[in-house]
Structure 1
Amino acid sequence: MAPLHSSSMSACSSPLLKDVIGDLDRHSYVALLTKLIGESEYVQNNPPKYKPKENRVARHVLDVLLPLSTTPNNGGGGGPLVVQHITNPKYPERGNVIAEYPAPATKFNPFSLSVDGDRLQGRGTTDCLGHVALVTELMKRLGETKPKLKNSIYAVFICNEENGEVTGIGVDMLAKERYLDALKAGPLYWIDVAISSLHWQRRDDHVASQSNRKAAINAMELNMEALKVIQTRFYSDVPPLPEEEKYKYATPSTMKPTQWTYRGGSVNQIPGQCEISGDVR
C-alpha cells in the first residue's frame, strides 16, 4: 500500500510562506520607521513620570493596515486583514492594535475522514483506527497474493482495550480461552501504541532487615539496577527508526516505570519488598 501521512505527521505541500510573500518593501519599511521614530519623543515610558501616547504610533500602523482590512467603518478597504484598535476610554491617548491575517475558515468533523492529497485527518487516524485499517489491508493483500510463508501470520483486533473495570470480553478472554496460544512462539507486535500499551512489572521479595545491613538485600536498589539493565537492553533492541523523523514522531518507543510500591516500614529499615510497574509504548 502506498504510504499515506496523517495530518499530525505530514508537512503541508503548499509553497513556503517566504516564497509567497517575497521580500519586504525596503522603501515602505524605511518610510514607516521614519514616522515611528518621529513619534519616539511622545512614547517614552521611563522614568514612570512620563505619560506615553502610544496612539500616535498606532495611527501610523493603522494608516498602513486599514486599507487592507475588513473594517470599512474605520477606513478599511475590504480585506483580507482584520484590524482592531482598542483603547480604554479613560486613557484616550494610549491604545492597542491587533492585526490578523485569518486562515480560511474550515469546518472539520473529527468523526469523518477528510483526504487532501496524502494528508488524512480524522479521529483515530494516527492510532487505533488507523492501525485497524492498516492491518486489515495487510491481511487482505496476503489473502489476495497468497505468498508462500514458513510461519503463519495472525492479526488480532481486540475490543475493550482501555477499560480495566470490565473484564472477560477482550484480550483477557482470548488468552483465558486459549485463542492466543498460537502466538506464544512469537514474535508478537502490539501495534496500537498511541493510546494503550504493554504493561510490565519487576518485583523483588525478601525479608526486610533493620540490623543486619551488610547482609540484607535492598529490594529498591536491586530493582533499580535490574530496571537499568532491562531499559538499556530495550533501547538497544528498539532504537528510533528513520521513519520517525520523516513522519515527525514526537517520541520514539519507550519503556518507562510509572508506579513504584513497597509494603512499608520504618525509615531505618532496609526494604525487603519492592515492585516497579510501567508500560512500553
Structure 2
Amino acid sequence: MPFTIATWNINSVRLRAPIVRKLLEEEAPDVLCLQEIKTPVEKMPDFSDLGYGHVVARGQKGYNGVAILSKLPLEDLGDRDFADLGHARHVAARLENGVAIHNFYVPAGGDEPDRAKNVKFGQKLDYLTEMRDWFRDSRPEKAILVGDLNIAPREDDVWSHKQLLKIVSHTPIEVDHLGAVQEAGSWVDVTRKDIPEGLLYSWWSYRAKDWDAADKGRRLDHVWASSDIARSGHSSRVLRDARGWTQPSDHAPVFATFDL
C-alpha cells in the first residue's frame, strides 16, 4: 500500500499549530515529520481529531525537538544523541509494514564556517561524522531518513553557488560531510531522484522583504531512502505555497510517496 511522508521544520509547533492543521487537512500525508517543535512532548498540540493519533516525539523547552505524527501505527525505535550535545535532534519509529523512519534536525552550525572560531560549526561537523559512523556500522535497510539536515549539497540547491560557497549550509566541508553520511548508509536522495534537474529550495530567510520575489532559497530539507526501497519512492515535491501562509515557518514541507 502506498503512503505519503512529509518533512517540515515548523519552528515551534505550538506557535504554528494552525498551519500544521492546515497542512494536515489540505494535504493529508500519512506521516508528518516535524523538526524544531520547541516544546516538551507533553505540551505538544493534539492533532488526533484529524486522524493523527500516533505520535513518537522527543522535545525540549524552547528549542530543538523532533516529532513523527502518523495516521498509521508507529513503534518507537528510540533516539540517539549524536555528538553528545544533549539536544532532541533525532527520533526513529517503525511502521507496521516494517519501514523505519528516522527524523533528524542537524545543527545549523552558526555563522562562521570555521570550527576554530565557532564552536557550533564544529558541533555540526561532529554530529554529521557520528551519523556517518552509525550508518556505516548499522547499514540501514527498509528505511527512510527525513528532516532538516541544514545543508544544501548541490549547486542547484541554492540560489547562487558562487556566492554561498563560504556561507554555512553550502560550504564544501559541510557538503563533503553530508555526502559521507549518505554514502555510509547507501542512502538515495529521493527528492533529487524524482526531480533531477533545476533549482529547488525548501527554505527562504525571514530577512527577505519579499521572499517569493527575491527567491534566494536553499534546499535544506531532505527525504532519503535506503537503497533497497529507493525505487519505490516517487511524486516528490516541495509545497512552496506554505512559506507564504499566515505566520509561516521559514521552511516549506517536502513530500514523497512510497509504494510499500
Q: TM-score, normalised by structure 2?
A: 0.26
Between the two structures, name the one with larger relative contact order (CA 8 Å, sep ≥ 6).
Answer: 2
Q: Which has the higher strand share?
A: 2
Larger of the two Rg values belongs to structure: 1
Q: TM-score, normalised by structure 1?
A: 0.25
